[in-house]
Each structure stands twice: as structure tokens, then as C-alpha cells.
Amino acid sequence: VIRFLERHRIPYHYLRTTAGDKRDDEILALVQDTDFLVLARYMQMLSADFLRRYGKDIINIHHGLLPSFKGGHPARQAFDQGVKLIGATSHFVTEELDAGPIIEQMVDAVSHRDNLQSFIQKSEN
């Protein structure tokens, strides 16, 4: 993602996060003048307070097909369910985890020959 952004000269901020990290004020200071946000591999829920204070569209890129595989490890969820189609979903962020309106989905076929690692690679590409 970073290489793409740099190649196209798109401004971005890369924020390292840890579980439970609540840096709403710091993040808001960085993004308050943006038109919208795109989350890629953010892997954290934004607080309801942050969503209210930011007040603009936020798009999340989720490496699983929603609404079926919400939350963490969607490729493992798909593998465990034995599905034959996997993919990624872009959706608008809401207070509920991975439940916002879907914008677009990309789908890839898998077969009985695929293993967990190939599921992960296909869903992340």
C-alpha cells in the first residue's frame, strides 16, 4: 500500500498501533483537514467518539468477504468453513465491526488444493 501511495504521490500517515491504543486526539489532529479516510491493515476499531468527531466518510479495506467473515483472521475463517470463493471487501466504517455499507468486493476462487497460507495470500492480494 505504501509503495502505491508513494508512486502516485498520495499523502498518507502511517500510524503504528497496539491493542487498546486510544490515540483519538493524535489521529484527529493529523486527519482533521482531509475529505475522507481509508484504513488499510489498521486492525483496530475506531471509537464512536472518534467517528462522531471526525464526521466524514471512512473506508476500510477488509481482507475477507463481508458480511460472512467479520473481524480478525477472515482467511482462516473462510478456510475453516471450506468455502470456494474468498476475497476482500471495501466498506464504509460504522460503530459496528465490519458492518458498514459495502462499496466493492474482489473475489478469487479457491479449491481443495489450497491450504491456509494460499487462502491468506489470495485474500490479501
Q: Provide the 10 A C-beta neighbour count for residue 95.
A: 12
Q: Are 95 and 48 in contact (CB under 8 A)?
A: yes
C-alpha–C-alpha distance, residues 55 and 32, integer Å: 9
For the question of residue 98 being annotated catalytic, the response is: yes
CB of 66 closer than 8 Å to CB of 98: yes
Query: Which position among 21, 25, 98, 108 bears the catalytic label?
Result: 98
SS3 43: coil
Catalytically annotated residues: 98
